[in-house]
Structures are given as structure tokens and as C-alpha cells.
Structure 1
Amino acid sequence: MAEVSDEPEVLSRPSRQPDRTEVTGPEQTDVYDVWEPDHARARGVTVGLVHGGFWRPHYDRAHLAPLATALSRDGFHVANLEYPRTGMPGGGWPGTGDALLARVASVVADTDLPETLVLVGHSAGGHLVTWLASDDRCPGLHGVVGLGPVVDLGEADRQHLGNDAARAFLGGSPDEVPDAWAAADPARQRLTTPAALVPGEHDDVVPPSVVEAYAAGRPADAPLTTALARGADHFDLVDPEHPAYLLVLAEIEELTLR
């Protein structure tokens, strides 16, 4: 997500409080919130949300509360996951990735949530869920949806996205910390869990070219689909009042049918 002076409009969308919050460890980021669905429409699917913010502390899981509310209204169990960001205890690489793996394991072990789990990540969260979907890293995962995802770290670095946020996250340039870049970049890894990547047509924070670069490097048999959200900018992708929300729903539903 961009360094912006004005808060995104999605933060003003209506939302309700989660039905419960689960604390999974000693850090303030060891937590996830749960929204239960309208049981008359319950689908038997858990959607795990992973927020963005270029891996920095400014944004947290709270800005996905409107999306969580909408998804629960549409019949999904929703777990809104927190994780440590750059400069926070346990944040940066590899701490952020390890923490998110632990958070997903907690959701999988939550017996009050359906076993079928789809992760939906926005921006830097899109990077993280695609990383989880790579190299058989998360066997309990059914599929992932990346919304405006920073899914090719090399391309993000070439475009200096988020004021070189990837370098801050990984602790240096590709030449300075090559092992971290190789370990963190989904574009250098094998996609092993089905993924749907959704860039916004008018996204100038994480342009569609980042998804295009990632897709161009995948083999023909990779479990990958891409869909351009027409008329959408970066934050429209997580705005339940924007038409892009219907595309997000469709991608989640398609993954659960596989």
C-alpha cells in the first residue's frame, strides 16, 4: 500500500465487531479475529484475510474489517490475521513469514472453523499468501487470492514500490542479502497451491505489471489464474462497496470448487 496522506475510503465502510478474537502467543501481533457467517447462508469455508501496508506498521488488520464483515454476510467464516511488520518485534525477514505460517497453523487447528481454508491477501498480504502457496509450504491450504499483490519482489524493487519497501523488509538490496531475496520472493519459487491473482486496472500503488511479471515466469501447468479488476484502484480491491468485490467472491468460489 502507498504512503498516503489521506486514509483510504474503505476505512469508512460499515463493519461490525468480530465475534471473537484469538490470542496465539505473547506478542501483540499473535492474534486473529473471527467473524461467523450468516448461518442460513453458511458455505463451510474459512477465508483467512492478510492485510497489506508494504510490510510496515502503519496499516494493520483493522482496515480489512469491512471486507471481513461483507464476506461473513455472504456466508463465509472469516479469520482476519495479524502479523509483525518491519521494525516491530519479530518483523522483517524471515520473522514475518514465520509468524504468518504460525498464524495459519492456528487457524487450521481452530476446531470452530471449517477445514477448507482460502487465504485472501492484499498488497504485501498478497505477497505473503502467494509465498505460503509456494514450495509446498502450507499443506493445509486450499488456495489463495492475491489482490493487488506485491507478488514479484524483483519487479517491485525495479519500480521502487513503496519507497523501496522490499529492501526495508528484507534488510538490504538483492546484492546485499541475496539469500533473503531468494527465500522471500514467490517469483523465484514453485507455485504448488492454486492461486488467483487480481490486479486493479487503475492501481498505481502496485501496478498490474507486477502480476504480469510473476505470471510470465510460471510454467504452463502452474495452478495460476489472473483476472484484471476493471475500473479498480489499489484500495477498491478490498472495498465491499466496489464492483471488484464481486470478482473477489467469484475467485474465492472458484478455488473452493477445485
Structure 2
Amino acid sequence: MLPHSLIEFFSIHQEWLWFFTIVADLGLAVLLFKLFGRQGLYASIIISLVLANLQGPKLTEIFGLQTSMGVILYSSIYFATDLLSERYGQREANRAVMIGFFVSVMFIIMTSISLLYLPSTQPNTAAFALEIHQATESLFSFSPRFVLGSLLAYFISQHIDVWIFHFIKTKTKGKHLWLRNNVSTMLSQAVDTLIYGVVVWWGLVDFITAMQLAMAKYLFKVIIAIADTPFIYWARNWQVDKADWITAPTTKTTDKL
């Protein structure tokens, strides 16, 4: 899909690929919002959750630290909920969180059921069917630890993110969007990382190692939280479809920063 020269460049410069992925992920979320309003942000959350579950096991190294694709794609969910909070209020953001939660549950249930189907044994397709079956087993054989940890971390941290965002917005009287966007995301991501590290990693490795793995991922989450700030300023004042504006909060912010 990408030009061969670009593939070669990114294979050598993985850090540039990481930054490119962040910009592409956030940019597409903003595009969905521009085209479809709040429904576009709902779609962005759902897509990011599905992709994070699919690509979460894909491990790589950026700046010498191990991380996963899931971290990049999962972090953009906080951007979408913060933009929903800013434009449509706390209720809409919490609704998006619950939609994302049930989508995650559905994804885990349906992919687990799909693994119960045995691969075809027809002579002309048996080898291909077995290869695909084994590949999907590698992707979708979720352990109970992973299911509990990922769902619990998402549910708790996302609600914390929405609550802190609106708490700061109230205290600052609608000013300083950068402050509530970054603080709410960083604190809630810390909770997310801690829960995931304790539930998923602790027991498989010792507690210290579990926290080291968690903190490495948290560093990337903080950088992404800072990176999404220009995007939320960019999208905050866009005029979207009339149906969104009819039901959106009528209060306007005088935030200059």
C-alpha cells in the first residue's frame, strides 16, 4: 500500500514511524469528527478499541523501549472522549465510554466463539485454512488475565478521565483546555497502566518487573497525550452538522489557551 521507498525509510527509522502513526491516528479521528460530528467520534473510539485488541500483542521497540501497537491506538481513545467532553458534555463522553466497553465485551465474546470452529479439511484449501486458523488463535486466544485486566482498566480509567476533565473545566471556568486535556489523560492513563500491570503482568512476572513494563508503556502514553493537544484545539471550534449543534451544550468557552 505504501511506496517501497517509504517502507524502507520507516524500517530504518522506527521512531519516525511512531510519530507518523500518532499523527495519522489522531488526524483520522479528527477527520471522522469533521465529517460525522459526535457519531464520528463514537466510530473512532470503536475502531481504536478493535485495532488495539487486534494489534496489542504486536511488540516493538521505540527509543530502545519495548512497547506495543495497542498503546498508540488505545491512547487516541482518550483524545476522542476529551473532545466529546469539550463539545457535548460529560453525559455524552460517559455514553461513549459505555459504548466502547460493550464493544470490547462483544469483540472478546465473538472472537472467542470463532476459535471454536475447526479449519476446513477440504484438500484444495486445508493447508490455507489451517494456517489462518493458527494465526487467529495467536491473535484471539485471550487469557482470563488479559480479558479482566483490559476491561477493568478501560472501564475505570475512562470514567476517571471524563470526571477529571470536567472537574478541571469547572474549576477553571472553561479556560485552559490544554490543562484539562493533558491532566485528565495523564492521570487516567496512569490508573489504566497500574491496573493493567497489576492484573495482567503481576503473577506472570514479579511485581517490580510488572511495574517496569507498565511504566515503559506509560512514558509513551504521556508523549501521546501531549501530542494530541494541538488536535483538540484544532477541532474544538469546528462547525459540524446542524443536528449536533441542536443537541450540543449552548455554553461557549472563552479559553484563550
The structure in which a higher percent of residues are helix is 2
**Greater RCO structure (CA 8 Å; 6+ sep):** 2
Fold similarity call, TM over 0.5: no
- What's the TM-score once normalised by structure 2's chain length? 0.30
Higher-Rg structure is 2
